[in-house]
Amino acid sequence: IFLCLLLIPFSFSSFKAMKDVPTAMINVYQMQFQLSQFVNKYYEKNTIALNDIGAVNYYCDIKCVDLWGLANKEVADYRRKLMYDSEKVFEINKRSNTSIAIIFEAWFDKYGGIPSNWLMAGKWTIPNNITCGADSVTFYATDSINYLKLTNSLKMFSKELPLQVKQKGY
């Protein structure tokens, strides 16, 4: 009886996890995998700023500027010392010669947002998100030259996106 009582919470959490697996897999395909395909197609060997580095780094040959600090000690140090803000984000990416940033915007609200001179080129939104960092990911260019390439690349890639992924932008 004692063993059965111990298994009850485990059974509920296991059932919920198994129920969520298909939706989570679809989320990863709709956002993370599509991001990696986009970056691989248009930005191979470029310097890209990301705050969710997993799939893009796994599938693509890029130089990654990790804006969340898991793979960037400088960012991690600034965050730990409570010195991370949009100015630091700008400085780090300027030094790295970053061409674009692909980020979950809300993650940067408490740091003062994204650098004001970055140009928003587009946004992808997925439905029923339960596993990605946010429902939407936003694409920024670090200057006007990169903005033109990024907006054109997003337009060209839009026909390859799954139908459920909604793209907005200029």
Q: How far apart are CA 104 and CA 49, in angstroms?
A: 11
* Closest to 97 (Cα-Cα) out of 124, 122, 64, 128: 64
- The answer to which of 13-17, 58-62, 148-152, 162-166 has the lowest mean pLDDT is 13-17
Q: Buried b vs exposed e over 107-132: b needs ≥16 C-beta within 10 Å?
A: ebeebeebbeebbbbbebbbeebebb
List, in order, residues 6 or more apart from 80 with CB less than 8 Å away.
none
Q: How far apart are CA 129 and CA 132, in angstroms?
A: 6
**Residue of higher predicted confidence among 11 and 93:** 93
The beta strands (E) that lie in the chain are given as 47-50, 63-66, 100-103, 119-125, 136-141, 166-169
Percent of the residues in the chain that have a pLDDT greater than 70, as a whole number: 99
Structure confidence at residue 31 (pLDDT) = 96
Structure confidence at residue 148 (pLDDT) = 97
Percent of the residues in the chain that have a pLDDT greater than 90, as a whole number: 85
Encoded tokens for 74? 């400088």
List, in order, residues 6 or more apart from 42 with CB less than 8 Å away.
149, 153, 156, 157
Q: How far apart are CA 141 and CA 68, in angstroms?
A: 18
Residue 14 banded pLDDT, cuts 50, 70, 90:
confident
Sign, CA torsion 66/55/48/107: negative
pLDDT in tens, 15-54: 777 788 999 999 999 999 999 999 999 999 999 999 999 9
